[in-house]
Chains A and B, each alone.
Chain A
Amino acid sequence: MIFLRRQVPLLITLISGLVFAAQYYVPHPVSEQMLTSVTKWLQIISGFALVLGVSSLFHVHAVKIRRKEAGWGYSFVLYVSMLGTIAVGLWSNGKEAVDGTMTAFGWVYNFMMVPLQGTMFAILAFFIASAAYRSFRARSREAAVLLIAAVIVMMGRVPLGEYLIPLSGDLSQWILNVLNASVRRAILIGVSLGTVALSIKIIFGMERSYLGGGKE
């Protein structure tokens, strides 16, 4: 059993990792065909992952409702909404509109999901303003630099700011193009090197946490 649970996955990871790292540099039709087939598999597996995710969500919330855990009412709302949307979606054949006429699924999407998600995002503006007032303080030199840069960029990104302080537009462009881009690039290079190192560790079986920690 340990062979199937440990060695086989490690072997699959090693072979596929090495083969697909090399594939990128081999434009031969056979290599390209292999990539085409594997990405198709990936798409199919992703489809199943969606089913797995939904069933797992059902299971977690069903347990919460059955045990009447704290906040089980929210789980109930989630259950009803999800089952209702799935039923309506199947009934409408997954279409929001047919020949320009809105279906029941389209109604749920347009008048429930769109405004709810929009509201959640819009609320952020209010919380950001409140949080900025409470915590955006120049406690140190570094915080002061951050504060000044933020004020300049906020001014430079809106017409009123550019109208009041004409230089703010160019200054904000400079901050974004020079300071921000170079710092972001440094972070990206760091993250990329880390990803390469982690990939090598996974391919060669040094990092095995993705196999799970079940009993052997």
Chain B
Amino acid sequence: MTFAERMLKIDRRIIFLVIGLCTLLPLLYPVGLPIKISPEVRGVYDYIESLPEGAVFLLSLDFDPASKPELHPQAISLLRHAFRKNLRVIAMTLWVSGTGMADQVVTQVAREMGKENGKDYVFLGWSPGGTAVIINMGQDLYGAFPADYNGKSTKGLPVLQGIANLRDVNYAVSLGAGNPGVEAWYVFGKDKYKFELGGGCTGVMAPGLYPLLRSGQINGLIGGLRGAAEYEILIDQKGKALAGMDAQSATHLAIIVLVIICNLFYFSMRKQAKQQGYSGA
């Protein structure tokens, strides 16, 4: 077995170790490289910034704990921004396994910003039906969610005053890790009920949502940890996303180096095989 062949069949635990170190070391010793703000993230930020005090902001946390590292920082930043702008916040989730986490993040940020449940914000929780919930909210918000997550009747809540359905929402953002998520909110929500929509998603999902972004179906997109880090910069509150960017930089670079090395060995093997073929002929 040649050196190239041996290198191509390297023990995968060595690769795991490299990735592990590339994640761990930057977390322990952060560098803090500058981050450029993308127009997609600025789209969401600018729209929230343009909303007047008391405008209705709906945040749908459509993800489960598996996507927590990427979408949790996005949720924190968006909630901080909305509360700082004194918007009326309606939070909910279309993913049953994310309900507890969504409740925690909304409660935690609201407490940090001195906001009162029922008056400044409400967490509606989860309701079965997936996309049907969006249509139901578009028809009658109180029919879809007769009570909030704490069992309090939604009718009569000061935060929901003057809101009958999704047509009364000024801006909605879905932080989606799959289906139902951003696409479902566009197809079943914005298209019919005509509210402005923004999106947030995991890094792997972001390329799939660019057609919605380019056509104006969503007015902004926060993609993965990078998007969350950009939002943290925009609201000037450093958080977990910015802290994780160095680790992401190092792992991306490690994977690129690994791919280049693998290709170098692959081409050297191909060259050897060709040479052997010629000498054999």
Using CB atoms and an 8 Å cutoff, list the residues of chain A in contact with chain B.
Answer: 24, 32, 35-36, 39-40, 42-43, 46-47, 49-50, 96-97, 106, 109-110, 113-115, 117-118, 120-122, 125-126, 128-130, 132-134, 136-138, 147, 150-151, 154-155, 157-163, 169, 173, 176-177, 180-181, 184-185, 188
Contacts and interface: CB of A to CB of B under 8 A. Distances in A.
B263 interface: yes
Interface of B: 8, 10, 12, 15-16, 18-20, 23, 33-36, 38, 64-69, 97, 100-101, 103-104, 127-130, 132-133, 135-136, 139-140, 143-144, 192, 203, 206-208, 210-211, 213-215, 224, 226, 245-246, 248-256, 258-263, 266-267
A141 to B, nearest CB: 14
Nearest to B242: A159
B249 A117 contact: no
A109 B249 CA distance: 31
15 contacts: A39-B132, A39-B136, A43-B127, A47-B129, A106-B100, A121-B67, A126-B20, A132-B258, A136-B259, A137-B262, A150-B259, A155-B252, A159-B245, A169-B36, A173-B38
A46 B133 CA distance: 10
B207 A184 contact: yes
A125 to B, nearest CB: 6
Contact of B130 (A46, A97, A137, A161): A46
Contacts, number: 164
Contacts of B18: 129
A32 B19 contact: no
Given A133-B15, A147-B263, A160 B253 contact: yes
Contacts of A49: 128
Given A36-B140, A126-B15, A158-B249, A177 B214 contact: yes
Contacts of B252: 154-155, 157-158, 160-161
Given A138-B267, A160-B33, 17 more contacts: A39-B129, A49-B128, A114-B101, A115-B65, A117-B65, A125-B23, A132-B259, A133-B10, A133-B259, A138-B266, A158-B226, A159-B35, A159-B246, A160-B252, A163-B33, A173-B38, A185-B215
